[in-house]
Structure 1
C-alpha cells in the first residue's frame, strides 16, 4: 500500500517551535510529508526561534506581512495555499497545525473534497476546529505524556481537564464517559459472543471523538489504556487452526453474583414446627 502524500501547513503565529518533532512524527504516522510550509511575518523578532528549526527540518518559510493591525494575514495565506494544493491534486491529505478556530471552515472544506485532515494544536484549541478534522492531536499533551507509560487516573488528571475544556460544554470527555461509550460500542458491535476486538473500538472512538488519543491520558497503547478500567475485561487471543496472528478483544467485566444465603438453624427449626 502506497503512503499518503501529505501537506503540512504550520501557523507560526500560533505554534511554538518546541513542537516541531511531535508535528513531523505525527505526520509520518499517517503518510509522507511531501510539502512542509510554515507561515508568518519573519521580520517579527517573535518568530526568530523558528529559524534554526526550519533549516534542520526542511520546512519552507512563507513570508506574510501583517498589512493591517488586528488582522491575521497568516491565516489567509495558509487557506489560499491549502486550496491551491487541493485543486492541484498533488496531495492526499493535510496537516493543519494551529490552535486557531479560524481554520474550522478550511478543515471542513478539505474533508468535503475527500481529503484526510489531521489537525494539530495545543489543548486550548476550540471544539469546532477539533470536530472539523478527521483526527486532532494535542501537541502539548503528547509532549508532556508521550514519553511515559503511566495510564493511572492520577497521572492523567491534567490531561483529562485539558481534553474536557477543549471539547466544549456539551461533552464531558473523560475516563468515565469513555468507559460508558466503550460499553455502548460493545453492545452495538457484539456478534453474540460478548467480545469485540479493541481495534474496532479504537476506530469508532476516533470517528466519534477526533481528538481521542490515549497519550492524552498518559498511556502509549490503546490496549493498555483500556486495561486500566476495572469495568472492562481485555484479553489477548490467537486465531484458531494454528494461525500465529494475535488479536486483543474486550468486553464488559461480568458482575460477580453474591452466593445464595443458607438458611440459619432458627429458620430450619421454625419450618419443622409448622
Structure 2
C-alpha cells in the first residue's frame, strides 16, 4: 500500500468565505491526509462570525491575529510564519494554501523549492502569479458550482432507489415487531425516535452514495474504473466516521454491491483485485417527473 501524503491546510479567513469549507476539505482529501487544519483571522471582528459553527463541525483550529494598524493585513504574516515552522518540522509532504491573495505567491514558491506539493485554492479573482506558483490550483467558486449541479442531477437519480429501499425497510420493521414479557411490544414511534437520536450525527447513506458516484464518475482512466480499496480510502479521508458496519455490513465489497449504479468487477492475473465503475445505463436513469418538468420549462421559454 502506498503511503498517504500528509497535508497542512492553511486558510486565510480574510479572503475566503465559510461556505467553501466543505469543498476545501473534500478536494484536498483526494490528494492525501489532512494533518494540520488551521484558519487565520481576527476573530473579534463581525465578518468572521460565520466561521464559528463551520470550524467546530470540521475540527479546524482558529488562529487569532489582531490587525496592528489600519490597512495592514497581519493575517498573511502569521500564516507564512506557521507554514515555515510546519515545513521545517518535517511532518508533512504538502500544503494547501487557501486564499485569493497574491501575497502568498512567494510562500508557495518557497514551499515547492523545498520539495513540497502545493495545492492552492481561491476564487476566480485570484491573481495569476499565485496560481502559477502552485502545483495545482482549484477555483472554489467553480468547485461549488460543479458540486451543486452534480448534486442536483444525481439526487434525482438516487432518490428513487433510496425511496424503494426505505419502503422495504419500513415494511420489514412492521412485520418484525419484537414482543417482550408476554403481550408487551416495542413502541414503534419511540424506537424510531431513539434511532434518529443515535444516528443524527452520523454521515447518512445518501451522502455516501453521492460521494461514491461523484468520485468514480470523475476518474480519469481509459476504462473509467477505480479500485475498491481507493474508494474506501477516499471515503475514510472525507468522512472520519465512515465504517461499513454503521450501515449493517461487514465488508466494503458487500456495502458497495448495494449501490445499483455501480458495476463491480475484478482485474489482475489472478482476478483478486476488485474495481468499481459506473454502469453505462445509470446516467439515463433519471426520474420521469424530472424529465417532464424540464420539457415544460423549455416550452415556456419558447413562448416567452
Same fold (TM over 0.5): yes
Match of 1:69 in 2: 70
3-state secondary structure, aligned to 1:43: coil
Task: Spell out, residue by residue over 1:78-130, the C-alpha distance to the aligned partner (whole angstroms, 9 max, x if none).
Answer: 00000000011111110000000100000000000000000001111111100
Cα distance in 2 for residues equivalent to 1:17 and 1:147: 16
Deviation at 1:223, TM superposition (A): 7.0
Deviation at 1:245, TM superposition (A): 9.0
Cα distance in 2 for residues equivalent to 1:105 and 1:58: 28
3-state secondary structure, aligned to 1:146: helix
Cα distance in 1 for residues equivalent to 2:34 and 2:136: 17
Deviation at 1:220, TM superposition (A): 4.3
Cα distance in 2 for residues equivalent to 1:142 and 1:58: 21
TM-score (norm 2): 0.50
Match of 1:133 in 2: 134
* Contiguous gaps of at least 5 residues in structure 2: 151-213, 223-266, 277-304
Match of 1:4 in 2: 5
3-state secondary structure, aligned to 2:14: coil
Cα distance in 1 for residues equivalent to 2:36 and 2:44: 23
Deviation at 1:27, TM superposition (A): 1.1
Structure that is richer in helix per residue: 2
Match of 1:19 in 2: 20
* Contiguous gaps of at least 5 residues in structure 1: 150-214, 225-238, 247-274
Cα distance in 1 for residues equivalent to 2:9 and 2:18: 14
- The alpha-carbon distance between structure 1 residues 99 and 109, as it changes in their structure 2 partners (threshold 3 A), is same
Residue 119 (structure 2) pairs with residue 148 (structure 1): no
TM-score (norm 1): 0.56
Is contact 1:8-1:96 (8 Å) kept?
Answer: yes
Q: Once superposed, which parts of structure 1, at least 4 consecutive aligned residues long, lie more than 3 Å away? A: 219-224, 241-246
Cα distance in 1 for residues equivalent to 2:79 and 2:31: 21
Cα distance in 2 for residues equivalent to 1:127 and 1:6: 23
Match of 2:54 in 1: 53
3-state secondary structure, aligned to 2:47: helix
Match of 1:96 in 2: 97
Cα distance in 2 for residues equivalent to 1:221 and 1:146: 15
Residue 116 (structure 2) pairs with residue 115 (structure 1): yes
Residue 35 (structure 2) pairs with residue 34 (structure 1): yes
Cα distance in 2 for residues equivalent to 1:85 and 1:245: 37
Task: Spell out, residue by residue over 1:235-270, the C-alpha distance to the aligned partner (whole angstroms, 9 max, x if none).
Answer: xxxx9x999999xxxxxxxxxxxxxxxxxxxxxxxx
Which of the pair has more CA radius of gyration? 1
3-state secondary structure, aligned to 2:126: coil
Cα distance in 1 for residues equivalent to 2:33 and 2:148: 23
3-state secondary structure, aligned to 1:85: helix
Is contact 1:146-1:220 (8 Å) kept?
Answer: no
Is contact 1:97-1:121 (8 Å) kept?
Answer: yes
Match of 1:194 in 2: none
Cα distance in 1 for residues equivalent to 2:270 and 2:87: 47
- Paired residues in the alignment total 167
